[in-house]
Amino acid sequence: MSSLQIRNLQHKYALTEVLSNINLDLHTGETLALVGPSGCGKSTLLHIIAGLLTPSAAEIKHSFTDTACMFQEPRLLPWKTAEDNITLGLKALNVPRQARQQQARHIAATLGLTFDDLGKYPHELSGGMQSRIALGRALIIKPDLLLLDEPFSALDIGLKLELYALLRQHITDRASAVLMITHDLMEAVRLADRIIMMAPSPGQIIAEFNVQQPHQQRSDAWIYQTTAELMANPSIRSGFGLPTDVLEPTLHTPVQHSQDNL
């Protein structure tokens, strides 16, 4: 079983400490959500895990072999067609062109894209279509670790739900690990197995919650109720800079507050 282990991670930009004493674990088939306000270092942490940044100090053990990233902006290459954008990773892996085309058409059908869509350039596509292509580009290489940096934040609720379903199907089929960054607690409740709450100045982990409800049993009503109950938790409210002098309700949902990583 592959895993990611981070211990005592710290990071500074010049003299400014942006991450302090970060400890977390992620295992095959698990979805971990990092939740927190803007400026708490979530994206910096993801960039470190992706290998795009070197931390100031850390002990990192990383046994995943294929990592893919999806960011808030689709980041499609404007001079390439949708098909060529989807298959960028396959091309880097030296997959022959014919095989790339076949895989692109298969995943395009899964994503609700037509054959004609594959021949279009990014400027000819809606924002939602570009997001589908970005997700396809990440999934087509069949990663065992998928890193998501708020890729659904600018989408309407209907498209979000479609892409959530496609993502869950990939996780189920491939047993991929997912590390997702979001400021949307409801999104975390919908998708994650564990939720880590971060707070800023410097970025640090202040709480962890285990979501035990099976994914197939997470109805919209359950998601709304659980999100509301978590929003009354003092750690969640503190992390988002909200007043903490509210009564914390008794959780009737299978969410457990863990102190292991604090």
Instruction: Give the pLDDT band (50/70/90) at residue 261.
Output: very low
Query: Is residue 16 pLDDT above 80, yes or no?
Result: yes
H/E/C letters for each residue in the chain?
Answer: CCEEEEEEEEEEECCEEEEEEEEEEEECCCEEEEECCCCCCHHHHHHHHCCCCCCCEEEEEECCCCEEEECCCCCCCCCCCHHHHHCHHHHHCCCCHHHHHHHHHHHHHHCCCCHHHHCCCHHHCCHHHHHHHHHHHHHCCCCCEEEEECCCCCCCHHHHHHHHHHHHHHHHHHCCEEEEEECCHHHHHHHCCEEEEEECCCEEEEEEEEECCCHHHCCHHHHHHHHHHHCCCHHHHHHCCCCCCCCCCCCCCCEEEECCCC
Query: Is residue 259 pLDDT above 90, yes or no?
Result: no
Higher pLDDT, 123 or 152: 123
Average pLDDT across the chain, whole number: 89
Give the pLDDT confidence of 42-92 residue by residue, as tens digits.
999 999 999 999 999 999 999 999 999 998 888 999 999 999 999 999 999
pLDDT score for 262: 37
Quote the pTM value: 0.89
User: Domains of the chain: which residue ranges?
Assistant: 3-66+144-258, 77-141
Give the pLDDT confidence of 179-229 residue by residue, as tens digits.
999 989 999 999 999 999 999 989 999 999 999 999 999 999 999 999 999
Q: What is 3-66+144-258's CATH topology?
A: Rossmann fold (3.40.50)
